[in-house]
Structure 1
Amino acid sequence: MTETTADDAPAPRGRLRDLTGYLTGHRGVLGVVLVLSVLGAGLSLAQPLVVNRVIRSIGTDQAPAPVVTVLVLLVLGAGLVGAVQQYLLERTAEGVVLTARRRLVGQLLHLPVRELDARRAGDLVSRVGSDTTMVRAALTGGLVDALGGSLVFAGALVGMAVLDPLLLGITLGVVVLAVLAVVAASARIQTLTRAAQDAVGRLAAGVERAVSAVRTIRAGGATEREVARLETEAVSAWEYGVRVAGVGAVLWPISGLAVQGSFLVVLGVGGYRVAAGTLAVADLVTFILFLFMMVMPLGQFFSAITTVRTALGALGRIQEILDLPREDAGDQVPGGASPGAVPTGAVERGRPATLTFDHVTFSYRPGRPVLDAVSLTVPAGSTTAIVGPSGGGKSTLLALVERFHDPERGAIRLDGTDLRALSRSDLRSRIGFVEQNAPVLAGTVRENLLLAAPEADEASCRAVLASVNLLERLQEHPEGLDATVGDDGAGLSGGERQRLAIARALLADTPLLLLDEPTASLDSRNEQALHAAIRSAAAGRTVLIVAHRLSTVVRADQIVVLDRGRLTAAGTHEELLDTSELYRELARHQLLVRPAVSPPGSTACRRPGR
């Protein structure tokens, strides 16, 4: 673990250029939307002018019917153009959400393990779901729509300026005050939205934690305490939501007051000017219609400020993840070689490889090494076991081979090639890895088996299941290999999950096999079956196995004793019983050796079978 978490870093703020960056792949559709905006603006702006003609025709001998027909066509045309424009905006917004989710999911699954360990799974899920949805609102209810409305706004201003510059000046005075108030308040919305989304992320993380451990929580009588804790998180999210609503509640009256104030001022001053004979009634009506046309885009502008600010708050959380360096970023081999710059034939596929640890030092926290100058050679085609007390660095060795982390000092080599000279995908294609907790993915048994070997056929799947004594269990199920398993392997026992994970690694048929506590969840019967499977799998490949149960590794070609990050002894089971006090103690505790009948004070040990 690291000393700091992701929460200690300052939260990045979403930027408008980040938001517009998601629109680059939709420029063609947006171009059509803007053309429709211009067309819609023209149809809308023509309506007050036609109304002016209708009013003037009433006092003349001119028949109003043709002009009214034109007005109806303009209204219907504007409605049709608006409907098409709205559909394209909605479609574009969905595309932007898809783009954001693709980027975010792709980034999450390529982040370094240390970054994922520093964050809670529920919060990351919230960013993919809730935060990306808020970005969508910026487009459908704000940004692009407001850009289209700005054309109507500008056209209405021109029409009002032609009709009566004095009334226009009074109207703009009221509007400018309202705009300044809205812009000032909207900055607060962005900050509060970020805090609200963080609270929702914490709530999602808490729910994910509680649901995944519900059996433990209930068994410990902690259900009500967990409910209370999650309710506290829910209240926190609610409080931030209320604060956002409070700021929004201030904005709505401002917008309404701007509309009503402008209308009343125009009506009062304009009515006076009509009475004074300086403004025609038809021109006043036309001016008021232009005023409403100016107010509608103004409302869109106010809404755009609010929704864009809200989206930027959520976008900051998305960009926080997207800005993190990927797992393979910045890899550099000692001596300046770049990743993948491996001499042809340096590491051959299809045959066991020699794995070498050369003075490997690694720590999760500065100054507290988990591994300290570990040197070890795993010969090609051999089985090497790593044993020792918990916390000694055994699983960390396997994590370094998989390049979930890289050594701080020293090097790990495969047939003499530094692992950092191999791309991670190339390296991992040569490794079968079974983690300590043997994760099983939600889906079917077949999908789990094919995870690392998607081309494997039915016969191969059944063969590996038989090798781990799991085929008979699957044959009892009516769906066979297509039997469904839940999250974390729900529906399988702990031992069955362990064996399925091992079968998955065996099916990949890689030259290097890493096993971390493969028998941790097995009973004695299945443990013996698995021993046979491991011996079979070891043929033709190099095996590195971590074990607490020494019975798992007594037949290994080499056993390494790791204690507090240091390699203290190496040899076969028989050799270590003679040379390593720690190994002898571990074996005694597991009843692999027992004290011989000897004089008091004697330390002689008798081995089983002798």
Structure 2
Amino acid sequence: MSAPAPRRGRRSAPQDGPRARLTQLLPYIFEHKPVLVVIVILSIAGSITTLAQPLLVGQVIERVQSGEALGVLVWGIVALVVASSVISGYQHYLLQRTGTAVVYSSRRKLIARILHLPISEFDSRRTGDLVSRVGTDTTLLYAVLTQGLADSVGNALLFVGAILAMAFIDPVLLVSIVGVLGISVVGVTLLSSRIRTATQEQQDKVGELASGVERAVGSIRTVRAAGATEREAADVTRVATDVYGVGVRIAKVSALVVPIAGIALQVSLLVVLGLGGYRVASGAITVADLVTFVMFLFLLIAPLGSFFGAITSVNQALGALGRIQEVLDLPIETDQDVAIAATVQPAATAPGANDSHAALEFRDVRFRYPASVVAARRTAESAALAALSDAHVDTSAVELPATADSDGEVLKGVSFQVPRGSRVALVGPSGAGKSTTLALIERFYDPTDGAILLDGVDVRTLDRTDLRGQLGYVEQDAPTLAGTIAENLRLASPTASDEECERVLRAVNLGEVLERSPLGVDAPVGEAGVMLSGGERQRLAIARALLAAPPILLLDESTSSLDGLNEQRMRDAIDAVATGRTLIVIAHRLSTVVDSDLIVVLDHGRVVGQGTHSELVESTPLYRDLARHQLLV
């Protein structure tokens, strides 16, 4: 009797990721230098026109008091206001456009990086979280440009110009407000660090939420059939509640920034009016000076408010950028090849049809999955058992595929050869390492020790694209991409004609699918192939591999979803295209592989037998038991 499965509870908070630095944010902005230069020039011009307005207003007041004619001063003020408005509007447009370009640039980099990550990263990370980084996290970079950072040069000029003008008008009044403004700046700076931390936590939670929704929606039929809709909704809602809670914390901290700026302005204005009124009464300054000073005070507060907004937006962006940069800093498959090249002898010759070598050979191959992948799989297994327990299913007899033995190895000294043009079958119980063997051939992972040879050449010395171009791989789950039948078939053969697509579909007994719709090969298959049956999806995956016509076919449980009639038809189709090709087939149904040229029996990561069906029945107890249970002996 196995131990009770752990109950599902509140998911633990994500571990703190790397904190991004401002220097990591600047390259995204400096990609648009020409536009930024224009924005800075417009910002400076706008600041000059704005600073000139209080000076002209002061002169207008003085001329009115002295009874002099205003002349062109009024029209000068009107011209400055119009110019400032036009400059501000065009600058706003450029900022919005550049902010959108920054988001686009970051998404482009992130998408390119994600799609080139090693398979181990996808095995250990949640799909929804990666999607969230592309969508939600990158959006926060938009605020960096649109909320003050790119306008900082103009605001700095406006701030300094206002300070100098106020010092020239009345240094006493200026000193009276410096303390108030200084306290507000310190307060906002201290609050900004809390905003950055909370934003990063919020984005982590948003990624977890996206993963939860993707998990539930992607398996909605299974969820409905199991009566687990309410439980799944409750799980996702718990994460949404966490996101809400962090968002409220950010709102509370951000809400403190607004009053600080408002209080600073109000207190400064009261001080200036009170002390300024006294100094006007004492004759130290004129009314025109006081009005001009107050106008400059408002001009001083405007860039200060932009500064506060920039601090908040930059810290929010840095919180999201930490998650983006974490992915961008991950090594891609090409980076792995560079490290491997230092330890593996280069290929003497390119692989080809060399009769002196086996098509494929495993030489004492050992392999263990990375710790992150093992941890992710164990978490998934625990969640699966918990779901069964929540559904009141007895989990004592549930057997989950083993990831590795206690020593951590999945394959332990596996050796066998695949002669060119032969059909080799890999059989054994769940967790024996069969699918891992195909993953190593495809170089989704590389061996921990030993070597895999393609035509006598270590596959680690080959370009992955060239290697995979020689392999046709049909996964166990036979995934179907959203789109049309033709788009699925042309995934590995983009130049294939409609006639070639139809021919290979009929070869795998999918002709009736073509006849369902007048669109033929352009008929949609739905999200994840929902408009096809499980067997049809599997045959479509096999058709995709056959259309590419590679010299080596890797079939992982390729007939597991087929009935007896279609399985036989599929075997006939594979036999037809297998001529002159090498096949490696994984199968639990021994009836589909009994006529193989070679059968390799795996158990707990070791080869426990090799030979034909009749030879293994006599020599290998495990195979004999498997055959007996399937009524083949």
Q: What TM-score comes out, normalization by structure 2 length?
A: 0.90
- SS of 2:607's equivalent in the other structure is strand
AA matched with 2:230: E
Q: Which of 346, 350, 354 matches 1:346?
A: 350
1:207-264 Cα distance to aligned partner (Å, 9 max, x none): 1111111122222222111111111111111111111111111111111110111111
Structure 2 match to 1:599: none
- Root mean square deviation of aligned Cα: 2.0
Name the amino acid aligned to 1:490: V
Question: Contact 2:341–2:461 (CA<8 Å) still a contact in 1?
Answer: no
Deviation at 1:362, TM superposition (A): 0.6
Judging changes above 3 Å, is the alpha-carbon distance between structure 1 residues 258 and 334 closer, same or farther for their aligned structure 2 residues? closer
Give 1:20's aligned amino acid: L
Match of 2:464 among 416, 424, 436: 424
Q: Structure 2 unaligned runs (5+)? A: 1-10, 372-405
Q: Does 1:173 align with 2:173?
A: no
Measure the CA separation in 1 of the matches of 2:339 and 2:138.
37
How many Å separate the matches in 2 of 1:334 and 1:356?
19
The aligned runs of 1:325-364 (5 Å cut-off) are: 325-331=331-337, 336=342, 341-343=346-348, 345-348=349-352, 354-364=359-369
In structure 2, what is the Cα distance between the partners aligned to 1:397 and 1:234? Answer: 40
- The answer (yes or no) to whether the contact 1:199–1:236 under 8 Å persists in 2 is yes
- 1:421 is displaced (CA, Å) by 0.3
Of residues 156, 162, 165, the one that matches 2:168 is 162
Residue 498 of structure 2: aligned partner: 458
Cα distance change on mapping 1:316 and 1:257 into 2, 3 Å: same
Given the superposition, is the C-alpha separation of residues 333 and 297 from structure 1 closer, same or farther in structure 2, using an over 3 Å criterion? closer
When structure 1 is superposed on structure 2, of 115-124 and 183-192 the one drifting more is: 115-124
For residues 307 and 494 of structure 2, the distance between their equivalents in structure 1, rounded to whole angstroms, comes to 52
Structure 2 residue matching 1:559: 3-state secondary structure: strand
482, 494, 497: which is aligned to 2:537?
497
Residue of structure 1 in register with 2:452 after alignment: 412
TM-superposed deviation, 1:12: 0.6
- 8 Å CA contact 1:353–1:381 kept in 2: the answer is no
Q: How does 1:217-232 map to 2 (within 5 A)?
A: 217-232=223-238
State the alpha-carbon separation in 2 of the partners of residues 390 and 294 from structure 1.
72
On the 8 A contact 1:350/1:511 being kept in 2, the answer is no
Secondary structure, counterpart of 1:144 in structure 2: coil
Deviation at 1:488, TM superposition (A): 1.9
CA contact (8 A) 1:203 1:233 kept: yes
Encode CA deviations 1:355-399: one digit per residue, 9 max, x unaligned.
110000011258221111001111111111101111100000000
Deviation of 1:349 after TM superposition, in Å, equals 7.6
Deviations 1:320-365 (A, max 9, x none): 11111112213258783679x544x421389997111000001125
Q: Which residue of 2 aligns with 1:608?
A: none
Q: Does 1:397 align with 2:401?
A: no
Question: Could you tell which deviates more after superposition, 366-375 or 450-459?
Answer: 366-375
User: Which residue does 2:74 correspond to in 1?
Assistant: 68
1:214 has 2:257 as partner: no
* Whole-angstrom distance in 2 between the partners of 1:208 and 1:552: 35
For 1:597, the equivalent position in structure 2 comes to: none
For 1:510 and 1:123, locate their aligned partners in 2 and report how far apart those are by CA, in whole Å. 35
Distance in 1 between residues matched to 2:628 and 2:153, nearest whole Å: 78
Q: Which residue of 1 aligns with 2:96?
A: 90
1:243 to 244, 249, 252: 249
Counterpart secondary structure, 2:416: strand
The equivalent of 2:4 in structure 1 is none
Aligned counterpart, 1:438: 478
Structure 1 segment 243-282 matched on structure 2, within 5 A: 243-282=249-288
Q: Who is 2:119 aligned against?
A: 113
Q: Give, in whole Å, the separation in 2 of the partners of 1:317 and 1:414.
A: 39
Task: Supply the AA of the counterpart residue of 1:323.
Answer: D
Q: Using the alignment, how far apart are the partners of 2:14 and 2:629 within structure 1?
A: 43
Larger displacement relative to structure 2 (374-383 or 62-71): 62-71
Runs of 4 or more above 6 Å deviation = 5-8, 349-353
Structure 1 counterpart of 2:557, from 497, 506, 517: 517
How far residue 105 of structure 1 moved from its aligned partner, in angstroms, is 0.9
- The separation in 2 between residues aligned to 1:137 and 1:350, in whole angstroms, is 60
- Find the aligned partners of 2:239 and 2:46 in 1 and give their Cα distance: 46
Q: Name 1:568's counterpart in structure 2.
A: 608
Return the match for 1:473 from 492, 513, 516.
513
Q: Which residue of 1 aligns with 2:585?
A: 545
- Report Cα offsets for 1:272-320 as digits up to 9, x if no partner: 1111011011111111111111100000001111111111111111111
The 1:7/1:262 distance shift into structure 2, 3 A limit, reads closer
Contact 2:358 2:417 in 1 (8 A): no
In 2, are the aligned partners of 1:333 and 1:421 still within 8 Å (CA)?
no
Q: After TM superposition, list the pairs within 5 Å mapping 1:561-600 onto structure 2.
A: 561-593=601-633
**In structure 1, how many angstroms separate the alpha carbons of the residues matched to 2:354 and 2:538?**
26
Which amino acid letter does the alignment assign opposite residue 488 of structure 1? A
- Aligned partner of 1:598 in structure 2 is none
- 1:50 counterpart = 2:90: no
Task: Describe the superposition over 1:95-123 as per-residue Cα deviations: whole angstroms up to 9, x where unpaired.
Answer: 11011111111111111111111111111
- Asked if structure 1 preserves the Cα contact closer than 8 Å seen for 2:358 and 2:456, the reply is no
| Equivalenced residues, count | 587
Deviations 1:553-587 (A, max 9, x none): 12211111111111111112222222222222212
Inter-partner Cα distance in structure 1 for 2:278 and 2:517 = 88
Listed one character per residue, the Cα deviations across residues 384-433 of structure 1 (whole Å, up to 9, x for unaligned) are 11011111000000000011111011000111111110121121111111
Deviations 1:99-156 (A, max 9, x none): 1111111111111111111111111111111111111112211311334312211111
With normalisation by structure 1, the TM-score equals 0.93
Aligned-partner SS, 2:31: helix
| Structure 1 unmatched runs, 5+ | 594-610
- Aligned-residue sequence identity (percent) comes to 53
Relative to structure 2, which stretch is displaced further, 53-62 or 184-193?
53-62
Shift in Å, 1:24: 2.6
Alignment check: 8 A CA contact 1:349 1:430 kept: no
CA gap 1:6/1:102 in 2 versus in 1, 3 angstroms? farther
- What's the counterpart of residue 601 of structure 1? none
- Output the amino acid matched with 1:17: T
* Distance of aligned partners of 1:43 and 1:272 in 2 relative to their CA distance in 1, 3 Å threshold: same
CA offsets 1:435-481 (integer angstroms, 9 cap, x no match)? 00001011111110000110111111111101100023222212111
What is the aligned partner in structure 2 of residue 596 from structure 1? none
Provide Cα deviations, 1:472-505, integer angstroms capped at 9, x if missing partner. 3222212111111222211110000000000001
8 Å Cα contact 2:144/2:310 also seen in 1: yes
